[in-house]
Amino acid sequence: MIPDSFKQELLHRVDIVDVIERHVPLKKGGANFVACCPFHSEKTPSFTVSPTKQFYHCFGCGAHGNAISFLMEYSGLGYVDAVRELAEDLGMKMPEFEPRANTSKDAGPDLHPILQQACDHYREQLKQSPRAIDYLKRRGLTGKVAAHFGIGYAPPGWQNLQSVFPGYADKALKDAGLVIDGEGGRRYDRFRDRIMFPILDQRGSVIAFGGRVIEPPLDDERDPGPKYLNSPETPLFEKGRELYGLPQARTAIRTAGRVLVVEGYMDVVALAQHGVEYAVATLGTATSATHVQRLLRQTDEIVFSFDGDAAGRKAAWKALEVSLPAVTDKKVVRFLFLPPEHDPDSFVRENGAEAFEKAVSGAKPLAQFFVEGLQDRFDGGGLEGKSHVFHEAKAFLQPLAAPTLKQNLLKHVAQAYRMPEAEAARQLGISLAGTPGSRYGQGRIPAREERAPMQSLEIWLLKRLMVKPSLAAEMPAELLRGQTFESLALQVFVAFARETAGANFDALVIDRFHGTEFEALFKQIKKEVMVMALSPEDVEMEFRDALPNMELQHVKDRLAELVRQAELRPLTPEEEAQLARLAARRKDLDVARSGPPPVL
């Protein structure tokens, strides 16, 4: 993990205007800079960069963040690579922090040139193999598309790479995943008689290969092995992080406003051949949270395409599970199930791009698949089956930080079981928007928020603290004791605000909680705050007006809860002490309270 002190120093020294202006032309607009958003198509500039807050925000699509997140979203860099690029520009030395980096260092020479040399060799071999060329033509691929993806061919034979690498016994060839050491120390090529698909990192460098058997196989090789064979994990390659075709698809993804996730290399290449160029593929592994996070930095919509059989639906459910925590109200995830006899490759070759695009447009919404998946997996019928579904749904829905998505999922669950949404919400422990799901409100409600759905105490406070973090020093301890997700979020935010000072707090807070369970919530709050355009002066006045009433309501609620418990059982010594402390605090607040009562 990169030390927080290094990240804070980096964000203190970097100028986000310089970083963004290398990629997007900016114009001065008052105290900020403006441009047409690089993350969605628009004619009127809505993308704003604040040099004082070191933060960018698009009022059109909601994209926002600091210099690190901009490089991640715009260039598709991983978190560490984005930090490294900024550090190199500033002349800052990256700290030693990555076990994988140390592994790479111990492995010896840089593996990138070795893998590129192997890639060049495979491409030359393709030109010399009529059998491999004929196979690609039968699959409908042209030389132009094959060259675009760098497709090659590993000929049959056990040690063909020995003619490419004089040091065939070198450890680096094994570390790169190109050779295997067999029994008795005999070394041989990993890929033999296979169409070769280079796997590129976000910078376009070869980091691994995927090899597909040619059908039918050669007569003298009865068992060609698995249909697809990937490089093993290496210091450069981690299957759960990489996506095939992402560097080639990045421009098309931005243009289309969506990315299609498929299961195989040939699906990606065949779709590109027919003009559907925004597809990527996982590398023989289930969809990971890292995959989803990388893709949502590129676009607002992900469409997963899986086979319609049991295995395909299982893979789709796994993709849904890892997507839910990362999805915000401005992001969309859908699921495409093609007819059982087709995969994307065969479908687009048989029916054409227009029919395939129509199928993508009709992909199943996340909420619909969520309910269907729960019923398929947990509903055995009757009250017990329904109970299982609600138990599982509760575990998924309660942590969600996207309120509109949460309400949509709740609505679909209620409709599936023909029950009122309020009853479904009660069973799932979820507050309905627009109803008093939380008894806490605001002391003074600004006009721009009067028609907003009722929000919890914690969210109201987080919005004000996001604008004026110095107010964290005034937060009463009584409001920092809850155990709900939003309460814990408030506690960690207050702790960070109290220990962090500086003009670019906006940039630091998003970076500090990157990759944590609170990241999506804080990003959503930050976007809402930007739209509300709250001033620090208004926030301070609202906060101080409302805080006594909020604390008083909190104390009253906890006292009432303890009294109810005392009617059912004797209180513990700790609860007795808390009861006395709360009673004394209520008396103090009653004396000190001023201003209007809280809106409930």
Residues 595 and 544: their CA atoms lie apart, in Å, by 10
Q: Is the pLDDT of residue 116 over 50?
A: yes
Distance from the Cα of residue 258 to its chain's centroid: 14
Count of Cβ atoms closer than 10 Å to residue 37 Cβ: 22
User: Domain coordinates of the chain in residue numbers?
Assistant: 4-97, 106-230, 246-362, 371-428, 447-592
Distance from the Cα of residue 30 to its chain's centroid: 33
Q: Which of 158-162, 355-359, 513-517 has the lowest mean pLDDT?
A: 513-517
HSE (CB half, 13 Å, CA atoms) of 80? 13
The pTM score is 0.62
Residues 567 and 572: their CA atoms lie apart, in Å, by 13
**pLDDT band at 254, cuts 50/70/90?**
confident
Which DSSP string do the residues of 322-371 spell out, in sequence order?
Answer: HHGGG--TT-EEEEEE--TT--HHHHHHHH-HHHHHHHHHTPEEHHHHHH
C-alpha distances in Å from residue 261, one per residue of 232, 282, 287, 305, 405? 22, 7, 9, 6, 21
Q: Are 286 and 315 within 8 A, CB to CB? A: yes
Residues 63 and 57: their CA atoms lie apart, in Å, by 6
Q: Is the pLDDT of residue 98 over 90?
A: no
Residues 271 and 357: their CA atoms lie apart, in Å, by 10
Residue bearing the bigger pLDDT, 271 or 430: 271
CATH superfamily of the 106-230 domain: DNA primase, catalytic core, N-terminal domain (3.90.980.10)
Spatial CB neighbours of 223, under 8 Å, sequence gap ≥ 6? none
Q: Is the pLDDT of residue 598 over 60?
A: no
Q: Are 278 and 272 within 8 A, CB to CB? A: no
Q: Is the pLDDT of residue 516 over 50?
A: yes
- Specify the CATH number of the domain 4-97: 3.90.580.10
Helix/strand/coil percent split, the chain, to 5: 55, 10, 35
Residue 73, both tokens? 């979203």
Domains 4-97 and 246-362 share a fold: no
CATH superfamily of the 447-592 domain: DNAb Helicase; Chain A (1.10.860.10)
**What pLDDT score was predicted for residue 423?**
82
Average pLDDT over residues 313-319: 90
540 secondary structure, DSSP code: H
162 secondary structure, DSSP code: G
- Specify the CATH number of the domain 246-362: 3.40.1360.10
Residues 171 and 486: their CA atoms lie apart, in Å, by 51
**pLDDT band at 4, cuts 50/70/90?**
confident
Residue range 169-212, pLDDT digits in tens: 999 999 999 999 988 789 999 999 999 999 998 778 899 999 99
